[in-house]
Amino acid sequence: MDPLTHGVVGAMAAYSVSSEKNRKPAVVAGAGAALIADVETFIHLPSDPLFNLEVHRQFTHALVFIPVGALIAAALFWWVLRRHLTFRDLYLYSLAGYATHWFMDVITSYGTELFWPFVDTRFAWNLVSVVDPVFSAGLILFTALAIGLNKKWLIYVAWAWMAIILAVGWMQNNRAEGAMTQTAAERGHFIERSVVKPTIGNQVLWRTTYISGDSVFTDGVRTGYFSGITVFPGEGEPLVFIEDEFSEFQGRTLYSDLQRFERLSEAYLIRHPDKPDVIGDARYSMLPTSLIPLWGVETDTTNTDTHLPFLYFRDSGEEIRTRFSGMLFGRDLPE
């Protein structure tokens, strides 16, 4: 989830458990604590580009780390808020704010290691986009009114707004999944694994990606609230199997990095259509119908003992924007 929404929800949580006299400093503590979990964003190893991906939404987002993260946040904010709060109260509000972070990330689509260090499975509920203006605007509005008017019931309205948007996301996700299942059946495909994700900023246009046999397929699905469901046929590409295609490099850094990227990508690996040396994550693209990956690693079989470069392929040009908005608003209908 984006930082602004994280901060607002952290403020909502702290406000909800605060006493009337402590509400404003509680909001500061809760918002700040909710943001601290993303400190891992700044952890980099220049020599190992995949390291940052591995720690992203990892230990600072794990459930077992919540009390520790809250304590760190309380210690940092103590110097600012010690005249307004006891350390006990500050820790309570920091705990409330920090404890929201994992939830706000798991409702999005990247995946969060909730049970680190016991398992490295990433959980993603795929209910809202990482950035969703409608979702965030409602939370910001009701929280601002609650703070400005000192009306606690408005915070409960903000929580209700969140629940409604998540319920809508669950419904829309299921509708898109149903369309994906029907489309695959019409193609004669048996779905072995699949993932359904909202596209950026909305709960109307979805990206469905499934594996059938040794190939991966993606489609766009528009789940209009009043206009029914429209499927935008996408692309299919053969999967890349690291164990088969790169077996001769076992024991080398190249092979190890490919295995790490395979785990991070949940084995949805393809070659970039225009860059055959790039192995990309098929789950993400600028368009829901495209298998041009948003990111990938570049392989160099002549240099197998160096960590693989991690590359981004974000094309937000006019053509991409026009095609995306056409699908989102139902202007581009499939033939």
Give the pLDDT of residue 42.
86
- Is the pLDDT score of 236 beyond 60? yes
Give the range of the structural domain holding residue 75, as residue numbers without chain letter.
3-125
Q: Looking at the structure, do residues 103 and 8 belong to the same domain, yes or no? A: yes
**Position 275 in a domain:** yes
The model's pLDDT over 215-227, given as tens digits with 9 standing for 90+, comes to: 999 999 999 988 8
Residues 215 and 81 reside in one and the same domain: no
Token reading at 155: 């915070």
Q: Is residue 135 in some structural domain?
A: no
- Same domain? For 111 and 245 the reply is no
- pTM here is 0.92
- Is residue 139 in some structural domain? no
171 pLDDT more than 90: yes
- Asked, for residue 121, whether it belongs to a domain, the answer is yes
pLDDT digits (tens, 9 = 90+) for 83-125: 999 999 999 999 999 999 999 999 999 889 999 999 989 999 9
Residues 110, 131 contacting (CB under 8 angstroms)? no
Q: Is residue 150 part of a domain?
A: no
How does pLDDT run across 293-307, given as a tens digit for each residue?
999 999 999 999 999
Asked if residue 100 and residue 201 are part of one domain, the reply reads no
**Do 222 and 114 belong to one domain?**
no
What whole-number distance in Å separates Cα of residue 207 and Cα of residue 233? 11
By DSSP bridging, strand 205-212 and strand 236-238 are unpaired
pLDDT of residue 332: 63
Check residue 330 and give its pLDDT.
Answer: 85
Q: pLDDT digits over 250-302, tens only?
A: 999 999 999 999 999 999 999 999 999 999 999 999 999 999 999 999 999 99
Same domain, 207 and 335: yes
Q: Domain total for the chain? A: 2
In the predicted model, is pLDDT for residue 335 greater than 60?
A: no
Say if 166 falls within a structural domain: no
The verdict on 215 and 115 lying in the same domain is no
Q: Kindly provide the b/e burial profile for residues 202-231, where b requires at least 16 CB atoms within 10 angstroms of the residue's own CB.
A: bbbbbbbbbbbeeebbbbbbbbeeeeeebb
